[in-house]
Chains A and B, each alone.
Chain A
Amino acid sequence: MLGSYDSILQFPVGSGRSYTESLLPTAFGGGFRLKALAHVTMDRYKTLITNKSDFDNQVMSMKTSTVFAQSLLDSLADIDCKNLVVEREQIDQALGDAIGVIRA
């Protein structure tokens, strides 16, 4: 799913430039790919929603994942650089945004 942002979804349409590349051109050129964050994101999601009875801690919804991707790319766009390193706190923040949207 996250890999779609790196390849399938393009902006502008037909430009050959993926969503990740369009928002993080320098990092993308340096090898950054959103899909590489899938494992740590799922781990953090399961940790963050533990003991929250209104969430299924085994499954992430479509809406959670799309809001997460938007929030993370948005925050990273401001610090786009060739050797972009995503910290755990940034993933937690984006997941927090996504969980907050679902709750609202």
Chain B
Amino acid sequence: MAKRQKVTALHQPENELAFDPVDPIARQCHPLYEGQYQMPTQSIANMAKIVALWMRKGITGGTIVGESNYGKTEAIKYIRRIRRELLGPGVAVTPIPMTKLPDRKRIFWQYVASKLGFAKMSSRPVEIDMLNKSIAGLLRVCEESRANRMVLFLDDAQYMTHEYYLDLKPIYDALVNEHGKRVLVVSVGENALTNFVEDMKAEGKTAINRFLRMHGRFSGFSSSDQLE
């Protein structure tokens, strides 16, 4: 009896190996459970259009603001993934998360350099060394993409301060003036970023205007039609 059952099983390999989409093991491998899928939403598409428009018009910088958990970081990943289709050839897209910002200028450059793959410091003065490495890191990103244009996303930019934007200026100047790159800096963050921009205007701090010229909103689902 036992032998007969074994033979029967051998004659049903298709059934045993067939992919069952509701099998409990397969279900755990579903991207829905692993969170490894990208949801195409109108908000993400709108943000991509904004970035493409700013790039086409030669805008130097702008902010995109939306509440926490609305999918802004996902939108950055999406734009990075479709950069060629969205922005054309020769455009690099680089996100730098600003979630753990340092509290001193020389550390800012060190932070940026580390995010671009430079860990060790040379014996040269730390500030200049880190500034140069930040620039070199961004140039390397351009080279890898064979790009003469770049979109630099500052994610969680609500943590940026006036001083940090001032620190960003020499990086930007080097890329644009010394290396002939066209750079769009997009600061993506929560509502505090809007307050920051308003404060800069009110206080007449115009030195960082180039990074804050345009403004866009990233919205959630406010109606059932959008959710549908």
Contact partner, A2, options B68, B69, B228, Cβ 8 Å:
B228
Asked whether any CB of chain A lies closer than 8 Å to the CB of B71, the reply is yes
Alpha-carbon distance A69/B41, docked complex (angstroms): 14
Given the complex, which residues of B lie within 8 Å of A19, measured CB to CB?
30-32, 37
Given the complex, which residues of B lie within 8 Å of A43, measured CB to CB?
224
Asked whether any CB of chain A lies closer than 8 Å to the CB of B40, the reply is yes
Q: Is the CB of B67 within 8 A of A42?
A: no
Q: Quote the shortest CB–CB distance from B27 to chain A (angstroms).
A: 7
Alpha-carbon distance A22/B31, docked complex (angstroms): 11
List B15-35 residues whose CB lies under 8 Å from chain A. Answer: 19, 21-22, 27, 30-33
Interface residues on B, range: 20 to 34
Given the complex, which residues of B lie within 8 Å of A86, measured CB to CB?
none
CB within 8 Å for A38 and B227 given contacts A17-B21, A25-B22, A65-B221: yes
List A1-15 residues whose CB lies under 8 Å from chain B. Answer: 1-4, 8-9, 11-12
Q: Is the CB of B222 within 8 A of A73?
A: no
Given the complex, which residues of A lie within 8 Å of B227, measured CB to CB?
1-2, 38, 41-42, 60, 65
Given the complex, which residues of A lie within 8 Å of B67, measured CB to CB?
56, 59, 61
CB within 8 Å for A42 and B32 given contacts A1-B226, A23-B27, A61-B68: no
User: Which residue of chain A is the closest to B42 with respect to CB atoms?
Assistant: A1
Q: Is the CB of A63 within 8 A of B71?
A: yes
Asked whether any CB of chain B lies closer than 8 Å to the CB of A58, the reply is yes
Contacts beyond the supplied A23-B32, A62-B69: 10 A-B pairs with Cβ under 8 Å:
A11-B32, A19-B32, A22-B21, A22-B30, A23-B30, A38-B225, A59-B67, A59-B221, A61-B70, A62-B43
Which 8 pairs between the two chains have the least Cβ-Cβ distance? A62-B71, A38-B228, A63-B69, A42-B224, A59-B220, A22-B21, A39-B224, A61-B69
